[in-house]
Amino acid sequence: MKVSYLALFLFLIAHKVIGQTKVDSIPFVAYWQNGDSYNFKVTKLKQQWQDDKLIKNDSATFQANFTVLDSSETGYRIKWAYDIDWSKFSFADSSTSELIKNIAKDMVMEATYKTDEVGQYRGLENFEEIKNKMLNIFDKISEHFEKSGKMPPEQSKKMNQALLKLFSSKELIEQMVAEDILLFHSPFGIIYPVRDTLLYTGEMQNPFGNTPIPARISMFTDDLDLDNSFCVISQITTINPTDAKKYLLALLPQLGIPANEIKKMAQTSTLDISDKKHFEYWYNPGVPYFIEASKQAILHLGEEKLKRIDITRIQYND
């Protein structure tokens, strides 16, 4: 791909004097070529505690491939494909196993999308295909529950209508199926300071609604190897507990909790959410060796204490 003026600008301002070895910042710019292909191992961990007792501890590992389909002065077309061996998954009963076999062919195994010239994610190309696959999955799940007697037909119909409305949102579908892609591309287009910490106000996804929560974001470089164009970068995102509590309390009436109970909860409830990301990248050409994203939420609601940790790891696997 030809280097655009924006990419060149990002590179030049990272150096106070052209050719000097002392670097003050690292510009994350993609230098991919047509046909570039990289394999990764993706690991997902989900843990949940209730009153300090571990009640959920799930994990899954699968393979993913990143391939550059096209490059130009204005951006890239990328294919991100998963390779999941369903035979390695075990289920509690034969009914669930049969359900998984029926929906496996509709699982979103491949996404094509575009980035800008520096590698920032711009959007899915095969959105309609992905949306239809996801709706087919939920149709089969509701049909399975109907046949097993776990869900009345009327309830199943209402659920499908709600899902159809829900999946009309491209942004929501991208959050669901492009989570790993968004993580992969999140460093691009940013100039990271080598010795200082970059602090700014951003947003965190709201677990209680569509309105993002204001967040404080800090970024810093942990390690830099100029000879191999390799760096280690950390990003920490936190939200003001007061803001988090405000969004939480706004949700409670929708759950049917009486006003007097909400008033009591407001006095003692707290919510702490943090998001930590660790990036190890060859910043030229723009390929990760290892990424870890860890989201933690601790909720005190009345007398209950809930804690949840979601971890995603992407490991270079060529």
| Among 192, 183, 243, CA closest to 220 | 192
| Among 63, 81, 68, 76, CA closest to 121 | 76
Write out the CATH class of domain 5-316.
Answer: mainly beta
pTM of the model: 0.79
Sheet holding 110-115, edge to edge: 121-124, 110-115, 75-83, 53-72, 37-50, 304-316, 287-301, 270-282, 230-239, 213-225, 198-204
Beta strands at 304-316 and 287-301: parallel, antiparallel or unpaired = antiparallel
Q: What is the pLDDT of residues 7-50, one digit of tens each?
A: 544 544 444 333 445 678 899 999 999 999 999 999 999 999 99
Mark 295-313 as b/e (b = at least 16 C-beta within 10 Å): bebebbeeeeeebbebbbb
The whole-number average pLDDT for the span 85-92 is 56
Extended strands (E) in the chain = 25-27, 37-50, 53-72, 75-83, 110-115, 121-124, 191-193, 198-204, 213-225, 230-239, 270-282, 287-301, 304-316
Q: What is the pLDDT of residues 258-282, one digit of tens each?
A: 778 777 777 778 888 889 999 999 9
| Among 186, 188, 193, CA closest to 13 | 193
Q: What is the pLDDT of residues 89-133, one digit of tens each?
A: 555 455 656 666 666 665 657 899 999 999 999 999 988 888 887
* DSSP state for residue 33 in the 8-state scheme: -
Domain ranges of the chain: 5-316
Give me the chain's average pLDDT, please: 81
| Residue indicated by tokens 């974001």 | 217
